[in-house]
Amino acid sequence: MRYHDTIDNKLLLELYKDEFEYDNKSNIALVYNYVPKFILLSIALTMQKKLHLIGEKEKDNQIEDIWKIWEQNNMQTLKYKIALHYFLFKEVNLEAVWEGEDKITGTRIILHDPDSVKIEKLGDQIIKVTINSKELDENGKTVNIKKILTRNTISIQRGEENPEIKDNLYDSIPFVHIENSNYRIKSLIRLQDTENRYEGYLDALFDLHADPILFDDLGEAFRAKELKKETSIKISNDKTKIRKFLHYPRDSKGASMLESNGAMAQRIQEQQDKIWDKIKRLYPEIVLMEMLQSSGNITGVGLDKKLIEITTSINYARGEIKNALEELNELIGWLVNNNKSKTQIDFEDIIPKSFNDIIQEVSKATGLLSKDWQLNRLENNGIINSAEEELKKQKKEVQANPMGW
C-alpha cells in the first residue's frame, strides 16, 4: 500500500515544510519525514558561500553589467531558491525580462513556480513555453497574465484583453529550463511512507498490550442483537477496539495471540531497520544531517567520509545548475548589450573547512522559509543551540553588507 500514489508539487512543499498530515482514516502519523533534511543539506552544499562570475577580459564591462544585475536581483538569496526548485520540484524555470528605462535596474530575473509553466517539446528541443501568472492593476485588482514564448514570437495577454504579439528578436526562446536528471525525492518518499506504515502497525500492536482484549467477541454481540436479547457488551467506535474484537474471538487463546503479536512487532521493527539501512545507503545527505543534529560538532574522518559520499551527487547538480546560470547570463547580456556574453560560474569547494561552515549554509537554506519556521525548526532539530542568537548574527551581517556578497 502506498499513501502517496500521486506526488505533486503541493505535497512536496508540505513535506519540505514538515506540515503534511495523513488523513484520519489512514490511522498513520508522519513520524519519519526525511525530505527537509535531504533538501536543506543538498541546497547548502550545492550553493554554499559565494558564486564566482568569470568572463573574457576584453568584455569586462559587459561582465560587470551582468554582475550588477545579479546584485540588483539579490542572487545570494535567489541561488538558494533555484537549488530548492531543482532538488524538490525536479525543474528550474528562469526568465530575464527588461521592464524599465534603465537596462541595469530595469532587468529582472524571475524564477517561475513550476506549476505556472507549461513546456512543449519536439524531441529534446523546446518549441513553446506558456507562463501563467498574476499581477495587480492600477486599481489593486488581480489580473491574470498569459505569456507564450516561441522562437518567432512573444505573446502577452492581460486578463480579457487581446494578446499583444511581438517578434522574438532573440536567436532562441528567451527562457531557461533545466530538469534534475538525478531526481531522488520520490523514491525517498516511498521509503518513508513504508516506514511510517510499519510505525502505524506497531502502534496498534502496542495498544493491544497496553489495553488488553475484551472478554466477549463481536460475533456474540451481533447474535444477541439478532435474538433481541439484552447484552451488556458495548462496542466501541474506536478503530483499535473493533480490531481487537475481530482478531480475538472468545474461544481463542488470547495470551498466545498476544505473544504472537510480540513476535510480529519484532519482525516489523526489523523491517524498519532494513528500510533505514537502505535510506542510509542511498541518501548519505540525511545521515550527515542526523550526525550534525546529534553530535553538536563533527570533525575528522566521520565528517570527511560522509561529505565524500555526497560529492558525486552535488557535482552532478552543480553541473546542471551551472549550465542554466550561464545560459541565463547569455540572455541577460543580450538584453543589456545586444551581445550574448559568455560567462563561467565557479563554485566554492564542496567539502567545507569546518562543521560551522555547514551549519551556516544550512541556516541560510532554511531561511528560504519564514523566519518563524526557521527559528522553530532549527531549535527543535537541535541544529543550532539558539536560533534567536543566530538570527541576531544574521541581522548584523546584513547591516554590515546589505547585498550579502
For 61-79, what is each residue's pLDDT tens digit? 888 888 899 989 988 789 9
Flag whether 162 is in a domain: no
Higher pLDDT, 124 or 294: 124
Residue 73 lies in a domain: yes
One domain, residues 308 and 390:
yes
Q: In this predicted structure, what is the pLDDT of residue 51?
A: 79
Q: Domain of 45?
A: 34-107+303-400
Identify residue 128 by its one-letter amino acid code: K
322 and 278 in one domain?
A: no
Query: 138-159 pLDDT, tens per residue?
Result: 888 899 999 999 999 999 999 8
- 154 DSSP β-pair partners: 149, 166
All three cell numbers of 236? 466501541
Instruction: Give the pLDDT confidence of 317-362 residue by residue, as tens digits.
Output: 999 999 999 999 999 999 888 888 888 888 877 766 665 666 666 6
* Residue 102, domain member (yes or no): yes
Q: Are 92 and 324 in contact (CB under 8 A)?
A: yes
Please check whether residue 226 lies inside any domain of the structure. Answer: yes
Residue 231 belongs to some domain of the structure: yes
- Same domain membership, residue 314 and residue 360: yes
In sequence order, the 6+-apart residues with CB closer than 8 A to the CB of 400 are none
Three cell numbers at 163?
494578446
Decide if 43 contacts 87 (C-beta within 8 A).
yes
Reported as a single tens digit per residue, the pLDDT across 311-325 is 888 899 999 999 999
Bridge-based pairing of strands 142-149 and 91-98 is: unpaired
Same domain, 367 and 332: yes
Instruction: Give a yes or no: residue 155 inside a domain.
Output: no
Structural domain total, the chain: 2
313 with 352, same domain: the answer is: yes
* Range with lowest mean pLDDT among 85-89, 313-317, 392-396: 392-396
For the stretch 221-238, pLDDT in tens is 555 555 555 544 444 444
Counted residue by residue, the chain has a size of 405
Domain assignment present for residue 378? The answer is yes
pLDDT, tens digit, 9 for 90 and up, residues 231-259: 444 444 444 444 444 444 444 444 555 55
In a shared domain, residues 309 and 278:
no
Q: Which of 234, 253, 282 is the last residue of a domain?
A: 282
User: Quick one: cell of 89?
Assistant: 520540484
- The answer to whether residues 365 and 314 belong to one domain is yes
312 in the same domain as 382: yes
| CB 330, CB 344: distance < 8 Å | no
The three-state DSSP-derived secondary structure of the chain is CCCCCCCCHHHHHHHHCCCCCCCHHHCCCCCCCCHHHHHHHHHHHHCCCCCEEEECHHHHHHHHHHHHHHHHCCHHHHHHHHHHHHHHHCEEEEEEEECCCCCCCCEEEEECCHHHEEEEEECCEEEEEEEEEEEECCCCCEEEEEEEECCCEEEEEECCCCCEEEECCCCCCCCEEEECCCCCHHHHHHHHHHHHHHHHHHHHHHHHHHCCCCCCCHHHHHHHHHCCCCCCCCCCCCHHHHHHHHHCCCCCCHHHHHHHHHHHHHHHHHHHHHHHHHHHHHCHHHHHHHHHHHHCCCCCHHHHHHHHHHHHHHHHHHHHHHHHHHHHHHHHHHHHHCCCCCEEEECCCCCCCCHHHHHHHHHHHHCCCCHHHHHHHHHHCCCCCCHHHHHHHHHHHHHHCCCCC
> Is 323 found in the same domain as 255?
no
In the chain, the amino acid numbered 342 is K
User: Would 328 be classed as within a structural domain?
Assistant: yes
The 10s digit of each residue's pLDDT in 183-204 is 999 999 999 988 988 888 887 7
The whole-angstrom separation of Cα 356 and Cα 305 is: 17
pLDDT band, very low/low/confident/very high, at 129 (cuts 50, 70, 90): very high
> To 5 degrees, how large is the angle CA 399–CA 404–CA 405?
135
End of a domain among 282, 311, 341?
Answer: 282
* 393 and 307 in a common domain: yes
Q: Are residues 317 and 273 in the same domain?
A: no
Rounded to an integer, what distance in angstroms lies between the CA atom of residue 105 and that of residue 99? Answer: 9
- Which residue, 282, 315, 339, sits at the end of a domain? 282
